[in-house]
């Protein structure tokens, strides 16, 4: 049995996990694909560095082109990150007829369409299961498991760092700044946490899921993004009092072939299964027209969970290789992209207002909602000893984003409203 030779770009956390799984599960993997899998060459930044996994030094190179241009290598596994330079490496590898497995969400969110078109042209596979939700096989599920259904909505916690922060704030009543510092200390958040906490990481993942779920080319610029850095412990406390948990949700939905994709802190009814997903775990909820509601839950990051998805893709590539069907499974978006306008995007809203504590203010506020056609589900006035102003909490029924923007703009000009403290989407 001729072995399948694999080149690895990167030997960080995920790359180390890939080596561990390929070498540790060799018997199981060989029996699945019908031949041994050998990691032939590994591109690293520093060939002399101490590593947590034993690797033959002769296999290491500090030049990724040594991997890409090696005629012996059948599959290139990219786990080094980066965007523009990495794209060039992958396009060259495809030109040389090599199949690609990548965990690179940034690359696939920004250049996925170009890479998949090149793969189709060269009849190569490009698989990227590990780019979204770590160890949860959500991409394969969207492509294969829902192939006979029509996906109407995808809603997910797809960033473990922000979920860890919001969980700690909820369970311990801690402030955002304190929990962020703890997340950095534990290695869950980067020294510069912007990509996670401002929702950019989640937005890239939702662009990928939206593209696959709706078969249309969702780009990063199509995703409306708001992060968690403005979420206060008071917001979370009020959410809990009303029966909600705060989560950073990616939400992609479609109606009559028109789609909207967003990432934003969202109040989720505690009875919804996604509300109980805590810590660094991820969950993706998919609503299919035929199947109804489904939810996929698991670790969203980490060496072995993510590496498991990478190696599962590697096995899929090799099976296709044996069957001679590489390059035939690529999902190239075929539907014209139609984005919803602000008038067509509807959801419930939570609004916390600080207002003058005097008669007639509530009537003014409800009049503004009525003027723009927004109906109210509940209105609660909260006493707060720390605040000389009155605090009013409003939850609306479904309202268009355009109407809500007009309401909030009108509130800015009302003298009785001292401050629009918080506005959040409400789900479930």
Taking the C-alpha atoms of residue 208 and residue 218, their distance in angstroms, rounded to an integer, is 7
Q: Do 86 and 78 contact (CB within 8 A), yes or no?
A: yes
User: What backbone torsions phi and psi does residue 134 show, to the nearest 5 degrees?
Assistant: 45, -110
Please give the sequence-ordered ranges of beta strands (E in DSSP) within 207-361, or none if there are none.
223-225, 244-255, 258-269, 281-288, 292-299, 346-355
Q: Do 196 and 234 contact (CB within 8 A), yes or no?
A: no
What tokens appear for 188 in the block?
């869950």
Taking the C-alpha atoms of residue 320 and residue 315, their distance in angstroms, rounded to an integer, is 9
348 catalytic per annotation: no
Taking the C-alpha atoms of residue 127 and residue 421, their distance in angstroms, rounded to an integer, is 44
- Residue from 98, 205, 340, 348 carrying the catalytic annotation: 205
Q: Is 275 exposed, middle or buried, given 0-12, 13-18 or 19+ CB atoms closer than 10 A?
A: buried
302: left (phi over 0), alpha (psi -120 to 50) or beta: left
Taking the C-alpha atoms of residue 44 and residue 62, their distance in angstroms, rounded to an integer, is 5
Catalytic residues: 205
């Amino acid at each position: 049995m001729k072995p399948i030779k694999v080149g690895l770009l990167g030997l960080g956390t995920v790359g180390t996990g890939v080596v561990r799984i390929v070498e540790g599960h060799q018997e199981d993997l060989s029996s699945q694909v019908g031949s041994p899998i050998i990691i032939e060459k590994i591109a690293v930044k520093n060939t002399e560095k101490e590593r947590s996994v034993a690797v033959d030094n002769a296999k290491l190179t500090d030049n990724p082109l040594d991997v890409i241009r090696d005629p012996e290598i059948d599959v290139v596994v990219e786990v080094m990150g980066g965007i523009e330079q990495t794209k060039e490496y992958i396009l060259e590898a495809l030109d040389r007829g090599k199949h690609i497995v990548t965990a690179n969400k940034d690359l696939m969110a920004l250049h996925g369409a170009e890479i998949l078109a090149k793969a189709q042209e060269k009849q190569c596979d490009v698989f990227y299961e590990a780019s979204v939700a770590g160890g949860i096989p959500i991409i394969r599920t969207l492509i294969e498991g829902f192939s006979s259904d029509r996906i109407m909505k995808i809603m997910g916690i797809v960033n473990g760092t922000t979920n860890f922060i919001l969980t700690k704030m909820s369970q311990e009543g801690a402030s955002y700044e304190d929990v962020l510092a703890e997340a950095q200390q534990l290695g869950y958040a980067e020294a510069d946490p912007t990509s996670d906490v401002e929702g950019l990481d989640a937005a890239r993942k939702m662009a990928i899921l939206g593209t696959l779920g709706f078969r249309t080319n969702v780009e990063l610029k199509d995703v409306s993004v708001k992060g968690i850095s403005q979420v206060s412990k008071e917001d979370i406390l009020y959410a809990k009092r009303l029966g909600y948990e705060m989560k950073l949700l990616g939400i992609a939905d479609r109606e009559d072939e028109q789609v909207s994709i967003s990432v934003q802190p969202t109040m989720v009814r505690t009875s919804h299964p996604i509300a109980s997903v805590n810590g660094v775990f991820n969950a993706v909820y998919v609503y299919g027209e035929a199947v109804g509601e489904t939810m996929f839950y698991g670790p969203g990051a980490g060496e072995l969970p993510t590496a498991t998805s990478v190696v599962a893709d590697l096995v899929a590539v090799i099976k296709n290789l044996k069957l001679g069907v590489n390059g035939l499974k690529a999902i190239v978006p075929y539907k014209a992209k139609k984005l919803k306008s602000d008038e067509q995007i509807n959801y419930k809203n939570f609004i916390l207002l600080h207002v003058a504590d005097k008669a007639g203010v509530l009537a003014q506020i409800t009049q503004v909602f009525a003027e723009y056609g927004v109906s109210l589900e509940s209105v609660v006035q909260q006493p707060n000893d720390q605040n000389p102003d009155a605090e009013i909490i409003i939850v609306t029924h479904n309202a268009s984003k355009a109407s809500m923007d007009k309401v909030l703009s009108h509130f800015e000009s009302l003298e009785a409203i001292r401050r629009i403290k918080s506005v959040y989407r409400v789900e479930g």
